[in-house]
Structure 1
Amino acid sequence: MVETRLYIARHGKTMFNTIGRAQGWSDTPLTAQGEEGIRELGLGLREAAIPFKAAFSSDSGRTIQTMDIILAESHNQSLPYQRDKRIREWCFGSLDGGYDGELFNGVLPRTKAFENGRSLQEVSWQEIADSLVEVDTAGWAEPWEVLSQRIYDGFEAIAKSIEKSGGGNAIVVSHGMTIGTFLWLIDNSYQKQFIDNGSVSVVTYKDGKFSIDSIAALSYREAGRKIIQDEKKA
Protein backbone atom coordinates (compact mmCIF):
# COMPACT_ATOMS: atom_id res chain seq x y z
CA MET A 1 0.00 0.00 0.00
CA VAL A 2 1.25 3.48 -0.89
CA GLU A 3 1.82 5.61 2.20
CA THR A 4 -0.28 8.67 2.89
CA ARG A 5 1.58 11.77 3.99
CA LEU A 6 0.20 15.08 5.28
CA TYR A 7 2.30 18.23 4.95
CA ILE A 8 0.72 20.41 7.65
CA ALA A 9 1.58 24.12 7.44
CA ARG A 10 0.70 26.78 9.96
CA HIS A 11 -0.98 29.78 8.36
CA GLY A 12 0.94 32.97 7.61
CA LYS A 13 1.51 35.72 10.15
CA THR A 14 -1.65 37.73 10.81
CA MET A 15 -2.52 41.10 12.31
CA PHE A 16 -3.32 39.48 15.69
CA ASN A 17 -0.12 37.39 15.59
CA THR A 18 1.84 40.59 15.05
CA ILE A 19 0.34 42.47 17.99
CA GLY A 20 0.24 39.44 20.30
CA ARG A 21 -3.45 38.65 20.52
CA ALA A 22 -5.01 35.19 20.87
CA GLN A 23 -7.08 34.52 17.74
CA GLY A 24 -8.75 31.21 18.38
CA TRP A 25 -12.04 31.26 16.48
CA SER A 26 -11.80 34.99 15.87
CA ASP A 27 -9.91 35.94 12.73
CA THR A 28 -7.65 38.53 11.17
CA PRO A 29 -6.01 38.58 7.72
CA LEU A 30 -2.35 37.99 6.93
CA THR A 31 -0.11 41.04 7.06
CA ALA A 32 2.12 41.96 4.11
CA GLN A 33 4.97 40.24 5.94
CA GLY A 34 2.75 37.20 6.48
CA GLU A 35 1.87 37.02 2.79
CA GLU A 36 5.54 37.23 1.85
CA GLY A 37 6.39 34.40 4.25
CA ILE A 38 3.77 32.16 2.65
CA ARG A 39 4.96 33.13 -0.81
CA GLU A 40 8.34 31.79 0.31
CA LEU A 41 6.67 28.58 1.47
CA GLY A 42 4.82 28.12 -1.82
CA LEU A 43 7.98 28.65 -3.87
CA GLY A 44 9.90 26.24 -1.63
CA LEU A 45 7.24 23.57 -2.10
CA ARG A 46 7.33 24.15 -5.86
CA GLU A 47 11.09 23.66 -5.90
CA ALA A 48 10.74 20.46 -3.82
CA ALA A 49 8.36 19.17 -6.53
CA ILE A 50 6.19 17.27 -4.04
CA PRO A 51 3.32 15.63 -5.95
CA PHE A 52 0.24 16.68 -3.96
CA LYS A 53 -3.09 14.96 -4.53
CA ALA A 54 -5.31 17.41 -2.68
CA ALA A 55 -5.37 20.47 -0.44
CA PHE A 56 -7.19 21.01 2.86
CA SER A 57 -7.48 23.88 5.32
CA SER A 58 -9.63 24.94 8.23
CA ASP A 59 -12.57 27.23 7.46
CA SER A 60 -10.86 30.27 9.01
CA GLY A 61 -10.05 33.20 6.74
CA ARG A 62 -6.35 33.18 7.60
CA THR A 63 -5.89 29.55 6.55
CA ILE A 64 -7.90 30.04 3.35
CA GLN A 65 -5.80 33.10 2.45
CA THR A 66 -2.64 31.10 3.20
CA MET A 67 -3.74 28.18 1.03
CA ASP A 68 -4.59 30.46 -1.88
CA ILE A 69 -1.02 31.80 -1.88
CA ILE A 70 0.55 28.33 -1.48
CA LEU A 71 -1.44 26.88 -4.37
CA ALA A 72 -0.63 29.83 -6.64
CA GLU A 73 3.10 29.93 -5.89
CA SER A 74 3.56 26.14 -6.05
CA HIS A 75 1.57 25.95 -9.30
CA ASN A 76 -1.07 23.72 -7.74
CA GLN A 77 -4.20 25.79 -8.46
CA SER A 78 -5.91 22.78 -10.03
CA LEU A 79 -5.71 20.64 -6.87
CA PRO A 80 -9.01 19.59 -5.29
CA TYR A 81 -9.37 21.83 -2.21
CA GLN A 82 -11.62 21.27 0.81
CA ARG A 83 -12.17 23.21 4.04
CA ASP A 84 -12.78 21.40 7.31
CA LYS A 85 -13.85 23.23 10.48
CA ARG A 86 -12.54 20.36 12.62
CA ILE A 87 -8.95 21.56 12.09
CA ARG A 88 -9.73 25.09 13.31
CA GLU A 89 -7.68 26.65 16.10
CA TRP A 90 -8.68 26.13 19.73
CA CYS A 91 -11.58 28.30 20.87
CA PHE A 92 -10.53 30.62 23.71
CA GLY A 93 -14.14 31.49 24.51
CA SER A 94 -14.58 34.87 26.20
CA LEU A 95 -10.78 35.29 26.03
CA ASP A 96 -10.70 35.13 22.21
CA GLY A 97 -9.01 38.26 20.90
CA GLY A 98 -7.35 39.10 24.22
CA TYR A 99 -3.64 39.68 24.55
CA ASP A 100 -1.48 36.55 24.67
CA GLY A 101 0.43 37.88 27.66
CA GLU A 102 -2.75 38.44 29.65
CA LEU A 103 -4.13 35.01 28.76
CA PHE A 104 -1.04 32.82 29.12
CA ASN A 105 0.87 34.80 31.76
CA GLY A 106 -2.00 36.33 33.72
CA VAL A 107 -5.32 34.48 33.61
CA LEU A 108 -4.33 30.83 33.06
CA PRO A 109 -1.57 30.77 35.73
CA ARG A 110 -4.28 31.47 38.32
CA THR A 111 -6.10 28.21 37.52
CA LYS A 112 -5.75 24.86 39.29
CA ALA A 113 -3.44 23.35 36.66
CA PHE A 114 -0.78 25.99 37.32
CA GLU A 115 -0.65 25.58 41.10
CA ASN A 116 2.78 25.29 42.72
CA GLY A 117 4.30 27.58 40.11
CA ARG A 118 4.08 25.20 37.15
CA SER A 119 5.04 26.82 33.86
CA LEU A 120 3.14 26.71 30.57
CA GLN A 121 5.73 24.23 29.27
CA GLU A 122 5.11 21.89 32.21
CA VAL A 123 1.33 21.91 31.87
CA SER A 124 -0.21 19.40 29.44
CA TRP A 125 -2.48 20.27 26.54
CA GLN A 126 -5.36 18.69 28.43
CA GLU A 127 -4.67 20.83 31.50
CA ILE A 128 -4.57 23.98 29.36
CA ALA A 129 -7.94 23.03 27.89
CA ASP A 130 -9.33 22.41 31.40
CA SER A 131 -8.01 25.79 32.51
CA LEU A 132 -9.69 27.57 29.58
CA VAL A 133 -13.02 25.96 30.45
CA GLU A 134 -12.47 27.03 34.07
CA VAL A 135 -12.00 30.73 33.23
CA ASP A 136 -14.24 31.12 30.16
CA THR A 137 -17.26 33.16 31.26
CA ALA A 138 -19.08 32.66 27.93
CA GLY A 139 -19.08 28.85 28.06
CA TRP A 140 -17.66 28.54 24.54
CA ALA A 141 -14.26 26.94 25.28
CA GLU A 142 -14.24 23.26 24.35
CA PRO A 143 -13.71 20.56 26.98
CA TRP A 144 -10.60 18.47 26.26
CA GLU A 145 -12.63 15.44 25.18
CA VAL A 146 -14.45 17.51 22.54
CA LEU A 147 -11.37 19.50 21.46
CA SER A 148 -8.99 16.56 21.11
CA GLN A 149 -11.57 14.39 19.35
CA ARG A 150 -12.51 16.97 16.73
CA ILE A 151 -8.85 17.75 15.95
CA TYR A 152 -7.85 14.10 15.58
CA ASP A 153 -11.00 13.27 13.63
CA GLY A 154 -10.35 16.14 11.24
CA PHE A 155 -6.81 15.12 10.35
CA GLU A 156 -7.71 11.43 10.27
CA ALA A 157 -10.56 12.12 7.84
CA ILE A 158 -8.12 13.93 5.55
CA ALA A 159 -5.63 11.07 5.70
CA LYS A 160 -8.31 8.46 5.05
CA SER A 161 -9.61 10.37 2.02
CA ILE A 162 -6.12 10.38 0.50
CA GLU A 163 -5.55 6.74 1.42
CA LYS A 164 -8.86 5.78 -0.20
CA SER A 165 -7.70 7.34 -3.47
CA GLY A 166 -4.55 5.22 -3.47
CA GLY A 167 -2.34 7.12 -1.03
CA GLY A 168 0.01 10.02 -1.68
CA ASN A 169 0.54 13.51 -0.31
CA ALA A 170 -1.81 16.27 0.84
CA ILE A 171 -1.01 19.88 1.70
CA VAL A 172 -2.91 21.01 4.81
CA VAL A 173 -3.09 24.46 6.42
CA SER A 174 -4.08 24.67 10.07
CA HIS A 175 -3.18 26.56 13.27
CA GLY A 176 -0.37 26.57 15.82
CA MET A 177 -2.07 25.07 18.89
CA THR A 178 -4.16 22.72 16.78
CA ILE A 179 -1.06 21.34 15.05
CA GLY A 180 0.75 21.02 18.39
CA THR A 181 -2.20 19.18 19.91
CA PHE A 182 -2.43 16.80 16.95
CA LEU A 183 1.28 15.96 17.15
CA TRP A 184 0.88 15.24 20.88
CA LEU A 185 -2.11 13.00 20.20
CA ILE A 186 0.08 11.01 17.79
CA ASP A 187 3.00 10.79 20.22
CA ASN A 188 2.53 11.71 23.88
CA SER A 189 6.30 12.07 24.31
CA TYR A 190 6.24 15.07 21.97
CA GLN A 191 7.34 18.16 23.89
CA LYS A 192 5.46 21.38 23.21
CA GLN A 193 7.41 23.70 20.95
CA PHE A 194 6.64 26.84 18.98
CA ILE A 195 4.98 26.14 15.64
CA ASP A 196 6.10 29.10 13.54
CA ASN A 197 4.00 30.74 10.84
CA GLY A 198 4.68 29.03 7.53
CA SER A 199 6.47 26.07 9.12
CA VAL A 200 5.61 22.57 7.93
CA SER A 201 5.11 19.45 10.05
CA VAL A 202 4.93 16.15 8.18
CA VAL A 203 3.07 13.06 9.35
CA THR A 204 2.62 9.66 7.71
CA TYR A 205 -0.58 7.61 7.95
CA LYS A 206 -0.27 3.85 7.49
CA ASP A 207 -2.20 0.84 8.78
CA GLY A 208 -4.61 3.14 10.63
CA LYS A 209 -1.89 4.94 12.58
CA PHE A 210 -0.04 8.24 12.31
CA SER A 211 3.69 8.72 12.80
CA ILE A 212 5.63 11.99 12.92
CA ASP A 213 8.26 12.60 10.23
CA SER A 214 9.20 16.20 11.05
CA ILE A 215 8.00 19.06 13.24
CA ALA A 216 7.71 22.77 12.38
CA ALA A 217 10.39 22.73 9.67
CA LEU A 218 11.21 26.05 8.03
CA SER A 219 13.32 24.55 5.24
CA TYR A 220 10.68 25.14 2.55
CA ARG A 221 10.38 28.81 3.49
CA GLU A 222 14.15 29.16 3.50
CA ALA A 223 14.39 27.61 0.03
CA GLY A 224 11.66 29.94 -1.23
CA ARG A 225 13.38 32.97 0.31
CA LYS A 226 16.55 32.09 -1.58
CA ILE A 227 14.58 31.89 -4.84
CA ILE A 228 13.17 35.39 -4.23
CA GLN A 229 16.60 36.76 -3.35
CA ASP A 230 18.15 35.23 -6.47
CA GLU A 231 15.38 36.71 -8.61
CA LYS A 232 16.08 40.18 -7.20
CA LYS A 233 19.81 39.81 -7.99
CA ALA A 234 19.18 38.70 -11.57
Structure 2
Amino acid sequence: MKELYLMRHGQTLFNKLHRIQGSSDSPLTSQGIADAKEVGRYFDQINLTFDHAYSSTQERASDTLENITNQPYERLKGIKEWDFGVFEGQSEQLNPDPQIDPIRHSYGDFFLQFGGESDIQVQQRMNQTLTEIMEKPDHNRVLVVSHGGACFAFLKKWLSYEEIQKQVTNFHNCCILKFTYSDKEFKFIKEINVKSL
Protein backbone atom coordinates (compact mmCIF):
# COMPACT_ATOMS: atom_id res chain seq x y z
CA MET A 1 0.00 0.00 0.00
CA LYS A 2 1.45 3.35 -1.06
CA GLU A 3 1.48 6.35 1.30
CA LEU A 4 1.00 10.05 0.60
CA TYR A 5 1.91 12.70 3.16
CA LEU A 6 0.16 15.87 1.99
CA MET A 7 1.29 18.94 3.89
CA ARG A 8 0.26 22.57 4.13
CA HIS A 9 3.14 25.08 3.83
CA GLY A 10 4.53 27.00 6.81
CA GLN A 11 3.21 30.33 8.04
CA THR A 12 3.73 33.25 5.66
CA LEU A 13 3.65 37.02 5.99
CA PHE A 14 0.19 37.08 4.35
CA ASN A 15 -1.05 34.43 6.81
CA LYS A 16 0.11 36.66 9.64
CA LEU A 17 -1.48 39.75 8.07
CA HIS A 18 -4.72 37.86 7.25
CA ARG A 19 -4.42 38.48 3.53
CA ILE A 20 -5.73 36.26 0.74
CA GLN A 21 -2.83 34.50 -0.98
CA GLY A 22 -3.96 32.04 -3.58
CA SER A 23 -1.89 32.41 -6.75
CA SER A 24 -0.06 35.37 -5.24
CA ASP A 25 2.80 34.65 -2.88
CA SER A 26 4.50 35.92 0.25
CA PRO A 27 7.59 34.74 2.13
CA LEU A 28 7.67 32.38 5.08
CA THR A 29 7.88 34.05 8.48
CA SER A 30 10.51 33.04 11.02
CA GLN A 31 7.74 30.96 12.64
CA GLY A 32 6.99 29.27 9.32
CA ILE A 33 10.66 28.35 8.87
CA ALA A 34 10.95 27.08 12.46
CA ASP A 35 7.79 24.96 12.12
CA ALA A 36 9.03 23.41 8.86
CA LYS A 37 12.35 22.53 10.47
CA GLU A 38 10.44 20.97 13.37
CA VAL A 39 8.59 18.74 10.91
CA GLY A 40 11.95 17.68 9.48
CA ARG A 41 13.21 16.78 12.96
CA TYR A 42 10.01 14.81 13.60
CA PHE A 43 10.49 12.78 10.41
CA ASP A 44 14.10 12.08 11.45
CA GLN A 45 13.09 11.04 14.97
CA ILE A 46 10.57 8.48 13.74
CA ASN A 47 12.91 7.44 10.89
CA LEU A 48 10.35 8.34 8.22
CA THR A 49 11.91 8.69 4.77
CA PHE A 50 10.34 9.43 1.40
CA ASP A 51 10.99 7.94 -2.02
CA HIS A 52 10.14 11.27 -3.64
CA ALA A 53 9.14 14.80 -2.66
CA TYR A 54 7.09 17.45 -4.48
CA SER A 55 5.97 21.01 -3.85
CA SER A 56 3.75 23.44 -5.68
CA THR A 57 5.48 26.00 -7.89
CA GLN A 58 4.82 28.67 -5.27
CA GLU A 59 7.76 29.84 -3.21
CA ARG A 60 6.11 29.35 0.19
CA ALA A 61 5.64 25.64 -0.55
CA SER A 62 9.10 25.00 -1.99
CA ASP A 63 10.75 26.95 0.84
CA THR A 64 8.80 24.87 3.37
CA LEU A 65 9.99 21.66 1.74
CA GLU A 66 13.61 22.85 1.64
CA ASN A 67 13.45 23.52 5.39
CA ILE A 68 12.18 19.98 6.01
CA THR A 69 14.61 17.98 3.91
CA ASN A 70 17.65 18.23 1.66
CA GLN A 71 16.42 15.59 -0.74
CA PRO A 72 15.80 16.52 -4.38
CA TYR A 73 12.22 17.43 -5.25
CA GLU A 74 10.04 18.52 -8.15
CA ARG A 75 7.76 21.55 -8.35
CA LEU A 76 4.33 21.10 -9.96
CA LYS A 77 1.67 23.64 -10.96
CA GLY A 78 -1.14 21.14 -10.41
CA ILE A 79 -0.79 21.33 -6.62
CA LYS A 80 -0.67 25.14 -6.31
CA GLU A 81 -3.17 27.08 -4.24
CA TRP A 82 -6.72 28.00 -5.28
CA ASP A 83 -6.73 31.05 -7.57
CA PHE A 84 -8.92 33.76 -6.00
CA GLY A 85 -8.85 36.16 -8.96
CA VAL A 86 -9.09 39.88 -8.11
CA PHE A 87 -9.29 39.00 -4.40
CA GLU A 88 -5.60 38.05 -4.43
CA GLY A 89 -3.58 39.99 -1.86
CA GLN A 90 -6.68 41.60 -0.33
CA SER A 91 -7.85 41.39 3.26
CA GLU A 92 -9.44 38.07 4.29
CA GLN A 93 -12.37 40.17 5.54
CA LEU A 94 -13.46 40.49 1.89
CA ASN A 95 -13.93 36.71 1.57
CA PRO A 96 -17.54 35.55 1.32
CA ASP A 97 -19.04 33.24 3.93
CA PRO A 98 -17.02 29.97 3.69
CA GLN A 99 -20.38 28.16 3.49
CA ILE A 100 -21.64 30.30 0.59
CA ASP A 101 -22.36 27.00 -1.17
CA PRO A 102 -24.07 24.90 1.54
CA ILE A 103 -24.18 21.82 -0.68
CA ARG A 104 -20.44 21.79 -1.42
CA HIS A 105 -19.58 23.39 1.96
CA SER A 106 -17.19 25.88 0.40
CA TYR A 107 -16.89 29.06 -1.65
CA GLY A 108 -18.22 27.01 -4.58
CA ASP A 109 -18.19 28.95 -7.86
CA PHE A 110 -17.97 32.39 -6.21
CA PHE A 111 -14.48 33.30 -7.45
CA LEU A 112 -15.15 32.34 -11.09
CA GLN A 113 -16.87 35.70 -11.71
CA PHE A 114 -13.73 37.46 -10.47
CA GLY A 115 -11.22 35.59 -12.63
CA GLY A 116 -10.47 32.82 -10.15
CA GLU A 117 -11.22 29.11 -9.83
CA SER A 118 -14.12 27.12 -8.44
CA ASP A 119 -13.66 24.57 -5.68
CA ILE A 120 -14.40 21.79 -8.19
CA GLN A 121 -11.67 22.98 -10.56
CA VAL A 122 -9.15 23.03 -7.71
CA GLN A 123 -10.26 19.59 -6.55
CA GLN A 124 -9.99 18.10 -10.05
CA ARG A 125 -6.47 19.36 -10.73
CA MET A 126 -5.28 18.36 -7.25
CA ASN A 127 -6.71 14.85 -7.61
CA GLN A 128 -5.34 14.45 -11.14
CA THR A 129 -1.85 15.62 -10.17
CA LEU A 130 -1.65 13.58 -6.96
CA THR A 131 -2.94 10.48 -8.77
CA GLU A 132 -0.29 10.93 -11.48
CA ILE A 133 2.37 11.22 -8.78
CA MET A 134 1.28 8.10 -6.92
CA GLU A 135 0.94 6.06 -10.12
CA LYS A 136 4.65 6.50 -10.88
CA PRO A 137 6.92 3.53 -10.25
CA ASP A 138 8.99 3.55 -7.04
CA HIS A 139 6.64 6.16 -5.51
CA ASN A 140 5.71 4.15 -2.42
CA ARG A 141 5.97 6.91 0.18
CA VAL A 142 5.72 10.47 -1.05
CA LEU A 143 5.84 13.90 0.63
CA VAL A 144 3.91 16.72 -1.07
CA VAL A 145 3.83 20.33 0.18
CA SER A 146 0.79 22.26 -1.02
CA HIS A 147 -1.70 24.79 0.37
CA GLY A 148 -4.67 25.08 2.70
CA GLY A 149 -7.46 25.65 0.20
CA ALA A 150 -6.08 23.15 -2.32
CA CYS A 151 -5.54 20.46 0.33
CA PHE A 152 -9.04 20.97 1.72
CA ALA A 153 -10.57 20.69 -1.77
CA PHE A 154 -8.68 17.41 -2.30
CA LEU A 155 -9.71 16.11 1.12
CA LYS A 156 -13.37 16.71 0.21
CA LYS A 157 -12.94 14.36 -2.75
CA TRP A 158 -12.27 11.47 -0.39
CA LEU A 159 -14.13 12.34 2.82
CA SER A 160 -17.59 13.73 3.45
CA TYR A 161 -17.83 17.14 5.05
CA GLU A 162 -19.10 15.50 8.24
CA GLU A 163 -16.14 13.11 8.32
CA ILE A 164 -13.72 15.99 7.81
CA GLN A 165 -15.22 17.84 10.76
CA LYS A 166 -14.69 14.77 12.95
CA GLN A 167 -11.26 13.69 11.76
CA VAL A 168 -9.42 16.94 10.90
CA THR A 169 -9.40 19.15 13.96
CA ASN A 170 -6.59 21.66 13.47
CA PHE A 171 -5.61 22.20 9.84
CA HIS A 172 -3.07 24.94 10.50
CA ASN A 173 0.22 25.72 8.72
CA CYS A 174 2.53 22.67 8.50
CA CYS A 175 -0.33 20.27 9.23
CA ILE A 176 0.14 16.91 7.48
CA LEU A 177 -2.64 14.74 6.03
CA LYS A 178 -1.67 11.09 5.65
CA PHE A 179 -3.37 8.99 2.96
CA THR A 180 -2.88 5.50 1.61
CA TYR A 181 -3.17 4.95 -2.14
CA SER A 182 -4.21 1.90 -4.13
CA ASP A 183 -6.08 1.31 -7.41
CA LYS A 184 -6.34 5.05 -8.10
CA GLU A 185 -8.10 5.70 -4.81
CA PHE A 186 -6.92 7.62 -1.77
CA LYS A 187 -7.92 6.72 1.76
CA PHE A 188 -7.51 9.30 4.52
CA ILE A 189 -5.66 7.82 7.51
CA LYS A 190 -4.97 10.65 9.93
CA GLU A 191 -4.00 14.25 10.55
CA ILE A 192 -0.51 14.86 11.95
CA ASN A 193 0.21 18.08 13.83
CA VAL A 194 3.86 17.96 14.86
CA LYS A 195 3.53 20.94 17.21
CA SER A 196 0.96 19.09 19.31
CA LEU A 197 2.90 15.81 19.55
Name the TM-score, length of structure 2 as normaliser. Answer: 0.89
Give, as a single letter, the amino acid of the residue that structure 2 aligns with 1:191: I
What residue ranges of structure 1 are gaps of 5+ in the alignment?
72-76, 110-118, 224-234
Give aligned-pair identity as a percent: 28
Letter in 2 for 1:188: S
Deviation (angstroms), 1:59: 0.4
Max Rg structure: 1
Q: Deviating runs (4+, > 4 A) in structure 1?
A: 124-127
Q: Relative to 1, partners in 2 of residues 1:60 and 1:198: Cα closer, same or farther, differing over 3 Å?
A: same
Pair 1:151–1:35, CA change in 2 (3 A): same
Cα offset, 1:145, TM superposition: 4.4
1:50-199 equivalent positions in 2, closer than 5 A = 50-71=48-69, 77=70, 79-103=71-95, 108-109=96-97, 120=99, 123-125=102-104, 128-134=107-113, 136=114, 139=115, 141-161=116-136, 164-165=137-138, 167-189=139-161, 190-191=163-164, 195-199=171-175
Output the aligned Cα RMSD.
2.1
Greater mean alpha carbon deviation, residues 8-17 or residues 79-88: 79-88
After superposition, the C-alpha distances for 1:107-126 in whole angstroms (9 at most, x for unaligned) are x24xxxxxxxxx63873557
CA 1:36–1:158 in 2, change beyond 3 Å: closer, same or farther?
same
Q: Unaligned 5+ residue runs, structure 2?
A: none
Q: Distance in 1 between matches of 2:13 and 2:109?
A: 28
Counterparts of residues 6-85 of structure 1 (less than 5 Å) = 6-71=4-69, 77=70, 79-85=71-77
| Mapped contact 2:5–2:143 kept (Cα < 8 A) | yes
Matched to 1:13, the amino acid is Q
Q: How many corresponding residue pairs?
A: 193
Counterpart code for 2:32: G
Deviation for aligned residue 1:151: 1.2
Secondary structure of 2:89 counterpart: coil
Q: Quick one: structure 1 residues 122 and 130, their matched pair in 2 at CA, closer, same or farther if it must change by over 3 Å?
A: closer
TM-score, L = length of structure 1: 0.76
Amino acid in structure 2 at the alignment position of 1:87: I
Asked whether the equivalents of residues 110 and 118 of structure 2 are also in contact (C-alpha less than 8 Å), the reply is no
Report the alpha carbon displacement of residue 131 of structure 1 after superposing the two structures with TM: 1.4
Alignment correspondent of 1:207:
183
